[in-house]
Amino acid sequence: MVSYIDKLQEPNGLFHHAADVPFFWGRGNGWFAAGMAEMLRDLPADHPQRARIFAGYKKMMAALLQYQGKDGMWRQLIDHDDIWPESSASAMFSFALITCVKNGWLPGETYGPAARKAWIAVVGYIDQNNDITQGCEGTGKKNDMEYYYERKRRTGDLHVQAPVLWAASALLR
């Protein structure tokens, strides 16, 4: 995780999709948010890399507050308001925010409202078949912004379903 933080995390707190792809793809960032939250839950307090991972996590959580849409969602490209809301990233960010509040890692009065808003928004993307809509199709890296704008939206994709369950499990912990 420290290698990823050092190589891909930008000063704004978000992660580029790859070292040679300077875009903040939603689900790619979602993996970092969820991964760091899970890692921090399990790493011992005296682990030599814990402080570094926690610093990257805090930086990312602060960035997410800035980019959360008024609708509670984050976009396919996080820093582009003109692109569609993406449910898997939003669910993973909801999971990470819920986890930070429940564990007392970051102030609940600041991060709790964003976590709640995200969870309520994501639940709104559950359709009549209990499938999650508006999830980005599988996406390889490409140094072409239009590529991310043109990604297809999927319903019921497991890359989308699972993060919603993670967020629900974080609420129940």
The vertex-122 CA angle with 143 and 75, nearest 5°, equals 25
Q: What is the mean pLDDT of the chain?
A: 97
User: What is the extent of the structural domain holding 100?
Assistant: 2-172
- Counting residues of the chain whose pLDDT is more than 90, the rounded percentage is 97
CA–CA gap between residue 22 and residue 96 (Å, rounded): 23
**For residue range 68-127, what is the model confidence (pLDDT) as tens digits?**
999 999 999 999 999 999 999 999 999 999 999 999 999 999 999 999 999 999 999 999
- Tally the domains of the chain: 1
Q: Which of 120, 94, 85, 83 is nearest to 30 (CA)?
A: 94
CATH number at residue 17: 1.50.10.10
- Supply the pLDDT for residue 110: 97
CA-based radius of gyration for the chain: 15
Confidence band, pLDDT 50/70/90 cuts, at residue 159:
confident
